[in-house]
Amino acid sequence: MVIIKIMHEHELKSRIKRVMAGLEDFAGRGGVYYPMEVGHKPQIGGSACRFCAGCLADRRAGTFCRNTVCTSAVQGYSVGDAWYFRCWLGLDSFAIPIAPPSLGEIVGVIEVGGFIAPGHAHNAQEIALSRLSGIDALDLFQVLFGSLQALPETEFSEIKAVADFLLEATFSEGLNSASFFAMRRRVSEQQRRLAVKVQELQTSYPRLPSALRSLAEVFECFPDNDLHGARVKLDDFLGNMLLNSGASLERGKSYLLLLLGALNCERLLGDGRRSMYVPGLDERLIELSRKPDIESLCYWAEELLVGHFNRAQRAGTQESRRKWRVSDRVLDYVRRNYMRDLSLSEVARAAEASPSSVIHGLKRETGRTFVQHLTEIRIREAKRLLAYSTQSLGEISRLCGFKDQSYFTKVFRREINLAPREFRNMLSDRLTGGASEDGNSGLRV
């Protein structure tokens, strides 16, 4: 057993070494690999940020660096993606957890740091000085000041390109499971949507539509094979469930029994069956009974809905399959890439369709244009960040894919009829009883 463990560790180190070498070839910048096991030293790439490498060499500063990065690894594992953060010394960084499928847990994390957003160089230097002085490490700041000054300013789009490459490299080397990370991204995206949905529904609570009324609206999308519309309505149903069931897992399961029953009735009617037995129903009931928390319940509900549409798609005509596939792929790609400067041609290529097919397909199936969908998704994420974080408006505009804060404010005001700061202050007044001086709500995800 000891020999097998040593062989596994050697193979893991070889794969990490190849990934980090590929990172340097691709980006001209190295990373740092931190084993999660305490006591193991980080492995610093040859082209890693010199300022970061200097901090790691110091016992006091290195402890803070390690704690920040390992915490970020857990966050990244939860959302199934790179985790972007500002390190304790004020530099932009990202972390990618390493969780080999055979082990089923995080064994380490690759961090790439030392990025400075355009226009933030002076601010980053002040933060580093302040925090290093707080741990009596001014001598370290003096030694590293030259390397801090040498750091170039980097756009977020460039940072994300490096993170995307590194994440794909971990999949290729078997250091991470692409399917698991994709699942976690879908769960995370759903939880973000539901957080916004619950916030919207709270204004009318407790006078919410009945669960059956919300469920009926989901099924109104079925005749047109409108999966996107059904997902939107399912969010309403699940938001209703979250507000009415609170933290009760059992009450949440009772809601989803309604969904499961309705889907199976729909299947019976669609198949023209005389028997009341639906293949697979027993397995679904067992799955539902074993769900351990509300998050997994919500994801299970969406997968149940998507599975029903997939089955209907396979049974439908080639034309209906073609239409469903294009619209669903377009919206899925936009939801995962809204933070970038997306073009119609790029999205069309990702959806394996022509730009013309995307334009007409979206308009026919959803009644909305590509730009309208992209704006809606960006504004939804901006609302979530305004409500549940204390990030600045400039950071939020960047994270949501707007070219600058001025344009973000213009679009937000047009869509919401409030400026972003007014929206944040309004939520702060409603949820805390009064706005703070800086207009931040103080809420956390």
Return the closest-CA partner of residue 176 out of 80, 112, 299: 80
Residue 24 · residue 166 · CB < 8 Å: no
Helix 318-337 vs helix 370-388: angle between axes, to the nearest 10 degrees?
Answer: 40
Give φ, ψ of 182 to 5 degrees: -65, -40
Return the closest-CA partner of residue 163 out of 102, 85, 263, 71: 85
92-98 β-sheet, strand order: 43-44, 32-35, 108-115, 92-98, 83-86
- The amino acid present at 372, given as its one-letter code, is Q
Cα 293 to Cα 248: distance, rounded to the nearest angstrom: 9
Output DSSP code: residue 118.
T
Give the helix ranges, DSSP H, for 135-177.
Answer: 138-149, 156-172
pLDDT score recorded for residue 69: 95
Cα 410 to Cα 151: distance, rounded to the nearest angstrom: 32
CATH number of 2-175: 3.30.450
Give φ, ψ of 168 to 5 degrees: -65, -35
Give φ, ψ of 32 to 5 degrees: -125, 130
Helix 138-149 vs helix 121-134: angle between axes, to the nearest 10 degrees?
Answer: 160
Domain residue extents for the chain? 2-175, 177-316, 375-432
Do 375-432 and 2-175 fall under one CATH topology? no
Residue 7 CB neighbour total at 10 angstroms: 10
Q: What is the reported pTM?
A: 0.65
User: In CATH, what is the architecture of 375-432?
Assistant: Orthogonal Bundle (1.10)
pLDDT score recorded for residue 164: 92
Note down pLDDT in tens along the chain; length 445 residues: 444 445 467 788 899 999 999 999 988 889 999 999 888 899 999 899 999 999 998 888 999 999 999 999 999 999 999 999 999 999 999 999 999 987 889 999 999 999 999 988 888 889 988 888 888 887 888 888 888 888 989 999 899 999 999 999 999 999 999 989 999 999 998 998 999 888 888 887 777 778 888 889 998 888 877 888 888 899 999 998 998 887 789 999 999 999 988 888 877 766 554 455 566 777 888 889 989 999 999 999 999 898 888 776 655 544 444 445 577 888 888 888 888 888 888 888 888 788 888 898 888 888 889 999 999 999 988 988 887 777 889 889 988 999 889 999 999 999 988 899 988 887 665 544 544 434 333 333 2
Q: Which residues of 314-336 are buried (b: 16+ CB within 10 A; e: fewer)?
A: eeeeeeeeebbbbbbbbbebbbb
pLDDT score recorded for residue 270: 60
pLDDT score recorded for residue 316: 52
> Exposed/middle/buried for 180, CB within 10 Å: 0-12, 13-18, 19+?
middle
Q: Is 109 helix (H, G, I), strand (E, B) or coil?
A: strand
Alpha-carbon dihedral 353, 354, 358, 359, rounded to 10 degrees: -170
Cα 219 to Cα 262: distance, rounded to the nearest angstrom: 9
